[in-house]
Structures are given as structure tokens and as C-alpha cells.
A = this chain, B = another copy of it.
Amino acid sequence: MPEEPRRQARGQRRMEQLTDAAAVVFAEVGYAKATTNAIAKRAGVSPGTLYQFFANKEALAEALAERYRDELKAAHEKAFDLSMVDLPLPELVDRMIRPMVEVNLANPGFKALFTSGDLPDRLTAPTQALHQAVTGRVAEVLAARIPGLPPTQRDTAAAVATQIFAALLGTVVTAPAPDRDRWITELNKALVGYLSPLES
């Protein structure tokens, strides 16, 4: 197996330029129809240069997915901690939702990646990892808030909540800016409606 070359500063920059460009192109045309040549051109670089840093198109997408996961985690850790666990449910939900929405708004390419149904197999791994990361986080919060809840119920509730979230996230980020808050409110209502029966 060929060993990774030791990247120099220039190389690191190029890799960032390339993932940036990929995000843009993915956002514009979707993963499947995004061509590597177009991505290279967008990054102001030749096709050959792209393949100096990424073995193939999937590797590029994986790098993007990883970056996304990191940003999401960072945003969440920054904006949310377990001390909020006893807030009224609507507020708690709001605090969990907002950072996610922000990250998605700031990174249009990712949505294109993760809502795309037929991705190559390699990509389902990072996607599912991300999904599961979110679900795990939700389960954590649920456990802290409702200690008496059986783990099985807790985990399915977390999974369902995450799925509701993912579904409406699309609408929220796609919607024109003025409507966005309205949709966030609806998302909130949906989650609160589903979760509140678990309390008590």
C-alpha cells in the first residue's frame, strides 16, 4: 500500500481549497452529478492536482463529511451543556435545534451530501456515523432529563426525534429567510409534541 506523503503547508491549503470547492459544487448539482474536473476547476486547480491529494471522488466526500461532523460537534459543545437539561421542554429543544440549523445554513454542501439517497456505499458509513452521533447526543439528554425512562424506550425516542429533526431541517434551510423562524417553530412543536408524553 502506498504511504501518504508528508504534506507541506501549500498542500494543506490546497486540500482545504478542494474541499471548499467540493462543498460548493455538491450544493449546486448534488453529489452524483458533480464532476471531479468541475471541482478542480472551481478550486482553480488542475484535475491532476486534485488526485494528488484525494484518491478518488469518494475520498473527497468523506473528507467533507468528516469536517461536517467536527463542526457540528463543536457547535453543539459550544452552545449546549447538560446544565440546561431541566429547562422547560420547548426551550430545551430550542437550544438543541439552533446550533444544528446554524451549521447547516453555513455549509450548504453538506445537506446535498446527506439528503442524497443513492450514495456509494463508502459514504453511507460517515453519514450513518453522523446520524448516530446526533441520536446518541439526544439519548444522552433524554437520560439526564428523565432518569426513570427505560433505555429501550429512550433510544427509540431519540431515533425518532432525530428523524423528525432531519426531515424538517431540509425545509428549514431550504425555506426563504423570512419564513425560517416559522418553520423552526413548527419543528419545535413537532419535537415537543412527540417528547412531552414521555415526561411524568
Contact = CB atoms under 8 A, between A and B. Distances in A.
A77 interface: no
Contact of A118 (B31, B166, B168, B194): B31
A30 interface: yes
B182 A193 contact: no
Contacts of A196: 193
Interface stretch (A7-15, A96-104, A137-145, A156-164): A156-164
Contacts of A190: 160, 164, 190, 193-194
A33 interface: yes
A70 interface: no
Contact of A193 (B32, B168, B197): B197
10 contacts: A115-B117, A116-B117, A157-B186, A163-B167, A164-B168, A166-B167, A189-B194, A189-B197, A192-B193, A193-B194
A190 B167 CA distance: 13
Nearest to A115: B117
A160 B115 CA distance: 17
A171 interface: yes
- Give 3 nearest A-B pairs by CB, closest first: A30-B118, A193-B193, A167-B167
Contact of A29 (B118, B163, B195): B118
Contacts of A117: 30, 112, 115-117
A33 B31 CA distance: 13
